[in-house]
Structures are given as structure tokens and as C-alpha cells.
Amino acid sequence: MAKEIANLEPKAVWENFYKLTQVPRPSKKEEKIQAFMVDFGKSLGLVTEKDSIGNVLIRKPATPGMENRKGMILQGHLDMVPQKNSGTAHDFDKDPIDAYIDGEWVRARGTTLGADNGIGVASAMGVLASKDLVHGPIEAIFTCDEETGMTGANGLKANWLKGDILLNMDSEEEGELYVGCAGGINANIEFEYDEVIVPDGVKPFKLIISGLKGGHSGLEISLGRGNANKLLIRFLKYATRELDVRLADINGGGMRNAIPREGYAIVLVPEENVVQLKKAVKNYESIYQLELAAVEPALSFKLEETEMPKSMIEERVQDDLIDSVYGCPNGVIRMSDGMAGMVETSTNLSTVKSQKGVIFVKCLLRSSVESAKEDLVEQVDSVFALGGAMVSFDGGYPGWKPNMDSQILKEMKEIYEHKFGKTPAVLGIHAGLECGILGAVYPNWDMISFGPTMRSPHSPDERVNVPSVQKFWDFLVEVLKNAPVK
């Protein structure tokens, strides 16, 4: 039962996280969680406000004797990535998350867990509800729609918050302090096609790629995991050329910020080439499994018989789509020169989907270097423009430039060293933290991002490490107690 997680320590975090798992909160559909947070703040007798975008702000006065400290802003986002395994029956608009304890980890059965960013939100709730923590003035800002556009951060109005130091609690490795992040932009591609009549003498089949790990398209892009769309298109490139296969439908991937784990294509093959097609699928499965053995041990590529489709995609557009997706950059483009082991620039080819005469292709481009991001935009635009597609870009957001002279960075390093006996790592992150956007609205803020240890966010393998949550909470409590004097 999911409620068992409420008994974990620290209860100040886990009881609130359990409550969050019971409230549906997929991106773009956050009305229930926003109402929940407003009710939560008001139930504590705290000043609680919601703006027109959907951000919720809760203010808590300083504890006696701490009124002279700088105001601390606890920040997290309310939405979660709604991903599930193909065999899991779950409605993210209605159903609670079925979380459970697995040794030292908390997971969800067949779906994303929502620890990204539910643990950060739950920790802020714990601070707000506490009657014995020592702290200066607290503001908790819970932003909306971080995962699919950073809508809340982009819409945050100036002068609404009064604090001086932003503690973003949306990082995913305990013992690391993040002082910079990548910017990003969405690529939107559309191929229009005519639906043509299926000829006689063909057999319909469904190509299915599955069993991939997926994961966060920023944090885990450097792990070299398989991209379902690229693998599917790679086979279609061969099959359309050598076996006269025709494409009727394609559906791969989902969220922009999730590496695509599975996909399928409905294809038509001349009857005389059925045997060769079956052999080719088995051969490509072996190739994929060999190439990706270290990172995708459960990879599966299968062929199933299916019903005859009513139509198929015109051949010219089919070929343009395959060539363009095949040639589109994907994965790590460049590693950072300034921070060892950090990705500088990457792209995730997240979605390929045909629907009523249009094939939609979506990518998320990231870089901590603005000029490199612009160069990647031009590359993607060129590839798909050559294929005759309509290409547009939106949802761009800036990166967060590191400030190594940050006062809160210095103090948090000292607190961590004193409390845990080791120096925390100071890093940049190849993901779209809201800090870059928020810092543009509030340039006076001193900012840092930290959090407990999580693995595979944005996928059904998402999990959070229980001991790391205790350390994260203890660290947060100590940081608040030692807030700098104004």
C-alpha cells in the first residue's frame, strides 16, 4: 500500500509526499494540486496566494530572534511527468500514484513516482508546517508546469516575492550543490501527407520497439541509452529501401524531456517479401541488442500481425520523414570544457507521431552555451527543412550562469562539511532548472539548487533513495537555522 511511505523518516517529508501522491498532478492539468496547496497554506494560518498563472506562494514569518536574517525562498514545481509502462492501467488525470518501499528506495508500480519534484515540494511543506524549526523569514513558491514549458517560472511576476536567497530543491544527487544549468528550446516539426489507398498483394504488420530504459533527457542523456524513435526509423530506412515496405502509421515516444522508451509502426509489405521482413526484424533486434548490451539489457524489437489499415502515408513524405529523422542530431553533441563530466549541448528526439494527415516530430534542445544552442537550432531546422517539413521553435529558456562567489554557496559548503565530514560537490547540471528564468526576474537573488538522490526521473523506473532524503532534510534544516544576517 502506498500509505506505508508516510511512516518513513523524516516524517515531516514523507507524510507530505504521501499526500502529494494521492493528488493527480500531470503537467498542464494541475488544478487539483494547486487547490490542495492553497488549502494546505491556509490550514496553517499562513498568508497564501495564487497568481493568474497557477503558481502558489505561502509565507511564514521568522521564528523569534531570527527576524534579522535574510529571507529564504524554498522553491519547487507542482507538476510531474506522466509516464507509464505499456501494460500498466493508470489514468494520471484521476488515479493516485501507487508508491511502495523497495529496500532503501521508494518507487511506483508501473508509473513515474513524482519524486521529481514532489520530494522538494514535500520538504517545503514540512518547513511550513513545523512548529519547532528555527529559521528566518520563509517564502515557499510552488511553480506550475515546469516539465512541459516552465510556464510558472516564465510567468512569475516581479516584486511578488521579498526574499533574498533562493533554495531550488529540484536536483537529484545528495551531496551535490548546483550553481548553473543548461538552457533549452523546443523544436516542432510537421510533415503533411496525403492518405493513399492500400494496394493489393500486401500484408500488414506492426513493428514494436520496447524494453528501453528511457529516462531524463538532460540528466541521463550522457548514458548512451537507446532512443526508440531513432531505432525504429533506422530499421524503416532499410526496410523501405530493400523490401519495398510502406508506412501506414507511426507512434514513438511521448514527453519532450523523456528519452523515448518504446514505439511502433504499422507497415505494409509485399506478400513475396514477408519472410525477408521477419528475418530482417530478428537480425536488427540482434544488432540493437549487441550494440546496446551494456545499457539496454531488456531491449525488444518484434514484428506482429495486425489488421489492415484503411490507408497509408504517401511515399514521398514517408521517405522524407525517414531521411530527416535518421539524419537529425540526437544525444550528446558536446561535453563541457569548463566542468569535467558535464554535458554542454544535447538534443532529444522525443516524439514521432502520425495523425490525420500530419506527422508530428518533437525535439528538446539543451545547452549551457547560448551560441551552441542557437547552432543546434540551425542544424535541426536545416535537416527537416531539406525534407520539406514545417519547422518552428518555441518555449526557449535561458541557462543559469554559475556564481562561484555566491554567499549562500560558501555557507552551505561550510555547513555540509561540518555536519557530514566531507566537502559537497559544486556542479552545473545539464537540465532545465527554473533558476535561470527566475534569476532573470529577480536578479538580486543568490541561488543554489540541491536535493536527495533520485534515479531515472521521467520514466517508470523513477525512484528516490530513502537515506538520502533524511540527509537532505537534515541539511536543509541546518541551512535555514544558519541563514545569513541581513
Whether 146 is a known active-site residue: answer: yes
Out of 15, 139, 145, 146, the active site residue is 146
3-class DSSP assignment, residue 382: helix
Is residue 107 a contact partner of residue 174, using CB atoms and an 8 Å limit? no
Question: Which of the 8 DSSP states describes residue 471?
Answer: H
Q: How far is the C-alpha of 484 from the C-alpha of 165, rounded, in Å?
A: 9
Is residue 172 a contact partner of residue 454, using CB atoms and an 8 Å limit? yes
Straight-line distance from the first to the last Cα atom of the chain, in angstroms, rounded to the nearest whole number = 46
Q: What angle separates helix 315-327 from helix 370-386, to the nearest 10 degrees?
A: 160
Burial class (CB in 10 A: 0-12, 13-18, 19+), 408: buried
Q: How many CA atoms lie within 13 Å of 292's alpha carbon, on the beta-carbon side?
A: 24
- φ/ψ of 354, rounded to 5, equals -95, 140
Question: Which of the 8 DSSP states describes residue 69?
Answer: B
- φ/ψ of 250, rounded to 5, equals -145, 140
Q: How far is the C-alpha of 183 from the C-alpha of 67, rounded, in Å?
A: 36
Residue type, 438: L
Whether 194 is a known active-site residue: answer: no
Q: How far is the C-alpha of 347 from the C-alpha of 19, rounded, in Å?
A: 35
Q: How far is the C-alpha of 176 from the C-alpha of 427, rounded, in Å?
A: 7
* 58: CB partners within 8 A, 6+ apart: 37, 40, 41, 44, 46, 47, 48, 128, 139, 140, 142
Grid cell of 335 as nine digits: 561535453
CA dihedral 160, 162, 163, 169 (to 10 degrees): -20
Query: In the β-sheet with 463-465, what is the strand arrangement from edge to edge?
Result: 99-102, 105-108, 463-465, 454-455
Whole-Å CA distances, 122 to 119, 132, 221, 465:
5, 17, 27, 15
Q: Is it true that the peptide bond before 61 is cis, omega within 30 degrees of 0?
A: no
User: CA 391: distance to chain centroid?
Assistant: 23
Whole-Å CA distances, 239 to 191, 243, 247, 347:
20, 5, 10, 26
Out of 30, 79, 173, 285, the active site residue is 79
- φ/ψ of 259, rounded to 5, equals -60, 125
Active site residues: 79, 146
